[in-house]
Amino acid sequence: MFGTKKNNLEKKIKLSISSTQLKSDFKSRLISQQSSSDLKGFRKGKAPLDVIEKYYGDQIKQRLIMDKMGDLFYKKISEENIPVVGQPSFVPESFEIDKDIKFQVLYEVYPEFSLSRMSSLSFKKPISKLNKEDIEKAKDLILKRYSKAEPIEKTSENGDLVKIDFEGFLDGEKFEGGEAKDYSLELGAKTMIPGFEEQIIGMKKDELKDIEVIFPEDYQAENLKGKKVVFKINMKEVSEMKLPELNEEFFKNLNMDVKNESEFHEKIKNQLQIDLDSSLKTKTKQRIFDAFETANQIDIPQSMILAEANNLRKNSAQQMGLEIEKLQDDQFPLETFKENALKRVRLGVLINKLIEENDIKVDNDTLKKEIEQKSKSFKDPDQYVNWIYGNEDQLKNIESLVLEDKVAMYLEEKSKSQNEELSFEEVVSMG
């Protein structure tokens, strides 16, 4: 069950409430209830106290005792400066006020700890350089998006777009989901199960062919896992992808503010470099923070973990387009978010400690530079800058990101790192 693990942040205290005080306050509340009561058979505010007690006594006692327990507990933690987090749980021995009431409070406290030595931190720092192949590949992808399929009278090759009908048979019987008409398939894109595309390369229009393939062991359909099946293929059309000409009309349609091939190349190169730098910065920061969190395995209050897990669950549901209010308990089970929530909360606590101990702050100049840098990606940079400074929430958000960057830089300076050379694709696709 979520949140049952015990740690040294879970505390328990025993207190008691004076019966004398309870009786006095109970009478005061009865009188207050009497003045506002409107019981049948009595004028408003004129019902006798014994009648008021009969109707409302138990309710008033319970509310009174709960209020008193809260007052005593919060006075106690205020006087002793106890850093309570989350909602405490009050457990009274009874709700009878004829004698002193002893009660127990279960609560959690914010962790007290010392950070590990920064010199003990180590991480692998991703490094990468943009090369010609990366640029050409990006250019080819853009050109491919604007390419047109032209039917041809030849055998199919890798890169061709084909239109096929197919029927799948398992042990001589058609199986569900194994049939399609006029199915478009790019050969070499590896969107089908292994062996499917490879066996229809070399087919030409109107050709029929039976192929055998074996479904992967991890295939989603249980009845097909690891099974050998036969597909009957009807090649209905073979098309060659014709790339667009790099002319004025093409560049106009691109909406990239370029006029010729040279500018096109430079624009792509610059954007890829921006993407690479941003990914390297993000991945480096992630690895530093992972090392920092791993080196400081402090206990975290379950209430903080639960709150963060709830936030993660809600975010996941919203990303799927689901209404939070209508979520069922078995949808996005809270337990599945526990581990990630623990890491996120622990890292937040550690970063706050580091910031406090080392007086890490965001100065106005650094904040201004960050906002100006972000504005460059907008058509009207000045409008973006004015919007940020006119929006307190957005300004605080950027300030938090800058502070996070400063923490990462501090940790990197204090840590030991080993460079890990990665390709452009490896960096931008890293999770």
Q: Please, are residues 25 and 68 in contact by the beta-carbon 8 Å criterion? A: yes
Q: Which residues contact 144 (CB under 8 A, 6 or more apart)?
A: 241, 243
Q: Please, are residues 70 and 90 in contact by the beta-carbon 8 Å criterion? A: yes
Mean pLDDT by 10 residues, the chain (431 residues): 62 94 93 88 87 91 94 95 94 91 95 91 95 94 88 91 95 92 92 93 95 93 93 95 87 85 92 94 95 95 94 89 80 90 96 96 92 88 93 93 95 94 90 57
Query: What pLDDT sits at residue 151?
Result: 92
Residue type at position 334? L
- Helix residue ranges, H only, 130-254: 132-145, 196-200, 248-254
Q: Which CATH architecture has domain 252-428?
A: Orthogonal Bundle (1.10)
**Cα distance between residue 44 and residue 41, in whole Å:** 9
DSSP sequence for 331-349: SS-GGGGHHHHHHHHHHHH
For 400, counting Cβ atoms within 10 Å of its Cβ (0-12 exposed, 13-18 middle, 19+ buried), the class is exposed
Query: What pLDDT sits at residue 114?
Result: 94
Per-residue CA distances from 275 to 117, 271, 368, 427 (Å): 33, 6, 22, 10
Domain ranges of the chain: 10-109, 148-242, 252-428
DSSP 158: T
DSSP sequence for 37-61: ---TTS-TT-S-HHHHHHHHHHHHH
Name which of 234, 284, 295, 238 is nearest 417 in CA terms: 284
**Cα distance between residue 90 and residue 87, in whole Å:** 10
The verdict on domain 148-242 having CATH code 3.10.50.40 is: yes
Query: What pLDDT sits at residue 6?
Result: 58
Q: Please, are residues 29 and 336 in contact by the beta-carbon 8 Å criterion? A: no
Please tell me the total number of residues recorded for the chain in this structure.
431
In this prediction the pTM is 0.75
Query: What pLDDT sits at residue 1?
Result: 36
**Cα distance between residue 100 and residue 94, in whole Å:** 10
- Domain 10-109 and domain 252-428, same fold? Reply is no
**Cα distance between residue 172 and residue 120, in whole Å:** 63
Strand ranges in 132-245 using DSSP code E only, listed in sequence order:
148-151, 161-170, 173-186, 208-214, 228-242
**Cα distance between residue 119 and residue 124, in whole Å:** 15
The verdict on domain 10-109 having CATH code 3.30.70.1050 is: yes
Element (H, E) at 271: helix 261-295
User: Which two three-digit tokens encode residue 40?
Assistant: 């049948």
Query: What pLDDT sits at residue 323?
Result: 83
